[in-house]
Amino acid sequence: MRILQIVPSISLIYGGPSQMVLGLAPALARLGVEVTVLTTDSNGDIDQKPLDVPLNRPVEQDGYQIIYFRCAPFRRYKFSLDLLKWLNRHAQEFDLAHIHALFSPLSSAAATICRQQKLPYILRPLGTLDPSDLRKKRQLKQLYAAILERPNLAGAAAIHFTSVQEAKISERFGVSTRDLVIPLGVIPPQSPLKKEGLMKRSQLGVAEGVPLVLFMSRIDPKKGLNLLIPALEKLLDIGLNFHFVLAGTNPQDPNYEEKIKFQIQASPLQSHTTITGFVTGELKRSLLQAADLFVLPSYYENFGIAVAEAMVAGVPVIISDQVHICQEIRDSSSGWVSQLDTAEITELLRIALQNPLECQRRGLHAQEYALKHYSWDAIARQTIQAYDQILS
């Protein structure tokens, strides 16, 4: 089986939705699938240098091939004319394409080429069919959908959703689609990092015994920071002691990121907060191991890969009921689920921080559930089964 994975970028700076391919591709390869990833060298939308990678030729990596193409023209939209030309020439050499992102000019054009070349393709919308997301730039998206995405949806062999709730609420623009629900995966820590976690607490100036509350995601209006920050301030007002770590960035909207930083600096939270910026690698793993509680009160989230990463590290989570794995969190007792309400978020944070043994219990449940359901090998097996069904 020869499979193309097509994604506008796999740069770490774009977060989980882009990086997902780097988890799925090697897992598929381990099970005997020949995988080629097509992507661009995009590494941010505003003044950032592109990825320092070889271009226009296969790079062998973890059992699969990845081909990077120059992001040009329209760098802001992660477009690549060279990638599309390559796809048009080589599409017939593959059995199926798995295309990641909708309302992206590169992905939209790639789906069109696949149809023209009669290559079956799966679309993964990354939450872009959520009604909340569609309300942003509504008129432009309606026009874009009518011209490009509706035909792409109609021609797709299947639509890949990452949760039942995402599939349930997603817009199809009047098209009948075959839906696949396959979650995202996470890579568990290679070894216990408790000592590193404790070292990281001291580097943050956090005394032992002071609970560490972690937000690790893109700094974006949809993530609910306008609810979380007042909730944390209220906890200080009632005398609770904790340390808050804000980890993340926003390469597409740096002004909003600066607004959030200024809000915290002008708040009583300032002396209880560390702002790390974008984290990856050892620092990211250490922060997850050091955390006592992970929080993400998003207004909408088709899956929430950061939530799954916290779970696999054994950290209980507080999420909103608009993070679409909220039912899994409830059913597995992996944390707490709140409505989009500052008072309720405050109360759940208070309960969690005042009950460390309950936090530990839910953290163990979270890790057990994530290791069982969000391992890349298990997800690769589900994906291959879906590929087989489509190709047969």
| 146 vs 150: CA distance, rounded Å | 6
pLDDT at residue 220, as a whole number:
93
pLDDT at residue 97, as a whole number:
98
Residue 133's contacts (CB-CB under 8 Å, 6 or more residues apart) are 127, 222, 300
Could you check whether 2-185+375-391 and 194-373 share the same CATH topology? Answer: yes
Element containing residue 195 per DSSP (H, E): helix 194-203
pLDDT at residue 43, as a whole number:
85
Extract the residue ranges of the chain whose pLDDT is less than 50: 192-196
Alpha-carbon separation of residue 228 from 185, 289, 390 (angstroms) = 26, 21, 43
Q: What is the pTM of this model?
A: 0.84
Cross-strand pairs, 60:
65
pLDDT at residue 191, as a whole number:
53
Please give the torsion angle defined by the CA atoms of residues 315, 316, 321 and 327, in that order, rounded to the nearest 10 degrees: 100
Domain limits, the chain: 2-185+375-391, 194-373
Can you name the CATH fold of 2-185+375-391? Answer: Rossmann fold (3.40.50)
Cross-strand pairs, 160:
180
Pick the CATH number of 194-373 from 3.40.50.970, 3.90.1150.10, 3.40.50.720, 3.40.50.2000: 3.40.50.2000
- Spatial CA neighbour of 8 closest among 88, 106, 74, 91: 106
Give the sign of the dihedral formed by CA 66, CA 72, CA 73, CA 75. positive
Tokens of 260: 């959030």
Tokens of 305: 């890969």
Tokens of 240: 């609770």
Alpha-carbon separation of residue 323 from 127, 226, 306, 326 (angstroms) = 11, 16, 11, 6
Give the sign of the dihedral formed by CA 26, CA 102, CA 384, CA 324. positive
Tokens of 78: 């992660």
Instruction: Tell me the residue type at 144.
Output: Y
Q: What are phi and psi of 294, to 5 degrees?
A: -115, 140
- Angle (CA) 247-17-265 rounded to 5° is 20
Tokens of 80: 């690549």
Q: What are phi and psi of 48, to 5 degrees?
A: -75, 150
pLDDT at residue 208, as a whole number:
82
pLDDT at residue 180, as a whole number:
96
- Spatial CA neighbour of 42 closest among 6, 13, 4: 13
CB 391 within 8 A of CB 96: yes
Instruction: Tell me the residue type at 391.
Output: L
pLDDT at residue 283, as a whole number:
87
| 217 vs 220: CA distance, rounded Å | 8
- Angle (CA) 370-99-86 rounded to 5° is 135
Give the CA radius of gyration of the chain: 21
Tokens of 29: 């390869």
